[in-house]
Structure 1
Amino acid sequence: MVTMRAVDIKGGTGPATALFINDSTPKPTPSPTQALIRVKAFGLNRMDLLQREGKYPVPPQAPKTLGVEFSGVIEELGSKAHEGHEDWKKGDEVFGLAYGGAYAEYIAVNVHMLVHKPSELSWEECAGIPETWITALQAMYLVGEFAPGKSILWHAGASSVSIAGIQLSKADNASAIYATARQDEKCDFCVQKLGATAAFNSEKSNWSEEVLKATDGKGVDIIIDFIGASYFGGNLDAAARDGHIVNLASMGGAKLPGGEDVGAFVRKRIRFEGSSLRSRDEQYQGKLRNQLVEHALPKFKSKEFTIYVEKVFDWESVVEAHQLMESNKTKGKIICVIP
């Protein structure tokens, strides 16, 4: 058996300190439609922490190794990797989205989920794009049905997905862009660095009242929420008539406390829709990959869009990288590089 080094978890699940680099992980073999990538860098995501703890529904096609986004170099191509796709070749510099397995020296990925790495971007920047920006595009467009002139609210405004989303909203002419965060520094970042219209500290103020005040009582057309139960009532209050609330996670709890007034669903004709990216099939993900290439890649090259990287770790320090993400003090991506 050919082996490689990959991040593993002592006991299968556990805290950040259970992570270690396993020297005897089986090296993947690409299927006919896949490429084998030598990984240069990989991005951390909140789902990695949940998966590490055994609290994330991992799709059946995913390897047990963590990680869904990466940058690297094509080392090998499957026999059908050229059919209906770009003319990939060995040595191409790429970044991409996977169902799992990015915390490793090698990863096998369907070629349709790969993107050519622009020379204007670093390996670290590219490793922070796929999951983050594709999730933002999915939430805004496919689920939230954003169109120019609509207003939008991004919760967890300094999270990587919302950082991407605020920039996309601004570039695509949202009428107003609001954000919430739990620290003044993060709120300032959303307004001053990203271009949000206003950001509200959810620890210090009633953010839904602030949104209604800022919109003269109208509310916002689209709300992208990662918090869940604790923001449920506030979302209903802050949504405009015919508003669309897109729920992507439940960081603030999954069970409603009771006594919630759901009358707003009828009164305001609100749509509440949950979504995820990792559970989608390759055809769905591939369409979003294409949208990323067409919609965002030119703006990455021109620097109109910025990939905010909070900190870069050597992958030998993956424990510290996970602990930093758990601290909830970051603004942007945490990236690990494999020398």
Structure 2
Amino acid sequence: MRSITQSSFGDTSVLEFAEVDRPRPGPGQVLIKVGAAGVNPVDVAVRAGFYPLLGEPPFTLGWDVAGVVEDAGSGVSAFEPGDEVLGLLAFPAAGNAYAEYVLASANEIVRRPAALTVEQAAGLPLAGLTAWQALVGIARLGEGQRVLIHRAAGGVGHLAVQIAKARGAHVVGTASRAKHALLRELGADTLIDYTTEDFVTEAGPVDVAFDLVGGEYGALSAAVVKPGGLLVGALGANLGITPEQAAERGIGLEAVSVRPSAADLARLTALAEAGRLTVHVEHVLPFAEVAKAHELISSGRTTGKVVLTP
């Protein structure tokens, strides 16, 4: 089968095709014929060596996958060949999703709902779980609360907007004005154009701030969180504020570190089935254009998700 591998860290030129043996599922595993693989900022960081999550190359990138179960190992009763599934694989270990076939643990995947195309399904797991585990697992966001979401139109952000709305929250989002129409469709209540407006003065007091930018945005976001509220950052190494500084302001500070969870993923797909969550896929590219996919992600200006197809 074909797989996209790299033998060194570097720019997109290190990504190359290789012919490798098709893996066989062991106990508790399924073999998935990949229909689409999501591309995330972590992929770019690992490829370049900025975030050596997988150690030294060679390795195959990719953690988001949607496809069809081809075979199941012993002990797997929840899935059988022909089932359409999606999942976040093995993170933070190697998921190997940039390939025609990939192995998955049965407790990392769920069935793909009819409401999502295979491309949308591939864009959901890592970004959706990041948003869910931050807003629900950590913040316990609930009815009537106000939440500030930075980069609201990005891969994680646009899903966070919908999750927050499903929880009954008032959603304040930052995004460039060109992306406001989409965000209104997704349920955002108050939108701030970060290129021309100061969110510190425009956002109003919030119960929860979800920072997908990091750095100086951390301290600035803390300024709009109510006493007793919570700032959740997605870039744990670059929160822009210390726990001591947060405590001085009377707010909590947490970092979300996404992990595979079939249970959480099932809650996300249930929202999709109920018509309360969709995945905006801006670019679908063939594996042969993986370099372009990484360049799009590196720009930091994509709306929603970028997805690869074999």
TM-score, length basis structure 1? 0.83
- Assess if the C-alpha contact under 8 Å between 1:157 and 1:187 holds in 2: no
Identity among equivalent pairs (%): 30
Change (3 A) 1:22 1:143: same
The one of 75, 84, 91 aligned to 1:93: 84
1:59 CA drift (Å): 5.9
RCO (CA 8 Å, sep 6+): is it higher in 1 or 2?
2
Question: What is the identity, as a one-letter code, of the residue corresponding to 1:189?
Answer: L
TM-superposition CA deviations, 1:229-287 (whole Å, max 9, x none): 2112212211111111111117xx9385x9x99656234x211111211xx4xxxx33x
CA distance in 2: counterparts of 1:126 and 1:273, whole angstroms: 28
Tell me, in whole angstroms, the C-alpha distance in 1 between the residues paired with 2:296 and 2:243: 37
Aligned length, in residue pairs: 305
Using structure 2 for the length normalisation, give the TM-score. Answer: 0.90
The residue type paired with residue 302 of structure 2 is T
CA distance in 2, matches of 1:90, 1:233: 50
- Select between 28-37 and 156-165 the one with higher mean Cα deviation: 28-37
Pair 1:72–1:238, CA change in 2 (3 A):
same
Query: Secondary structure, in 3 states, of the residue corresponding to 1:137?
Result: helix
Instruction: Say if 2:218 and 2:233, in contact at 8 Å, map to a contact too.
Output: no
Aligned counterpart, 2:107: 112
Give the number of the structure whose alpha-carbon radius of gyration is greater: 1
Match of 1:239 in 2: 225
SS at match of 2:202: helix
Q: 1:261 to 1:247 in 2, by over 3 A?
A: closer
CA deviation after TM superposition for structure 1 residue 19, in Å: 1.5
Secondary structure, aligned partner of 1:202: coil
Match of 2:3 among 6, 10, 16: 6
Please report how far the alpha carbon of residue 18 of structure 1 lies from its aligned counterpart in structure 2 after TM superposition.
2.3
Gaps of 5+ in 1: 213-218
1:312 to partner: Cα distance:
0.7
Q: Distance in 1 between matches of 2:243 and 2:278?
A: 40
Partner residue, 2:252: 271
Residue of structure 1 in register with 2:263 after alignment? 290
Report whether the alignment pairs 1:140 with 2:135.
Answer: yes
Amino acid at match of 2:197: S
Aligned-partner SS, 1:193: helix
Aligned to 2:172: 178
For 1:145-192, what per-residue CA distance to the aligned partner results, in whole angstroms no more than 9, with x for missing partners? 212221111111111111111111112211x211112x22124432x2
Paired residues of 1:43 and 1:67 also in contact (CA < 8 A): yes
> Secondary structure of 2:229's match?
strand
Amino acid at match of 2:82: G
Measure, in 1, the Cα distance between the counterparts of 2:52 and 2:207.
30
Deviation readout 1:63-96 (Å, 9 max, x if unpaired): 92111111111112111222xxx2x112222111
Q: Deviations over 1:35-65 (max 9, x none)?
A: 11111111111100001111224268x9921
Which SS does the other structure have where 1:321 is aligned?
helix
1:207 corresponds to which of 191, 199, 203:
199
User: What is the RMSD computed on CA atoms of the aligned residues?
Assistant: 2.4
Please list every run of 5 or more consecutive structure 2 residues that lacks an aligned counterpart in the other structure.
Answer: none
CA distance in structure 2 between the partners assigned to 1:261 and 1:296 by the alignment: 30
**1:265/1:8 CA distance change after superposition, 3 Å:** same
**How far has the Cα of 1:198 moved from its partner?**
1.3
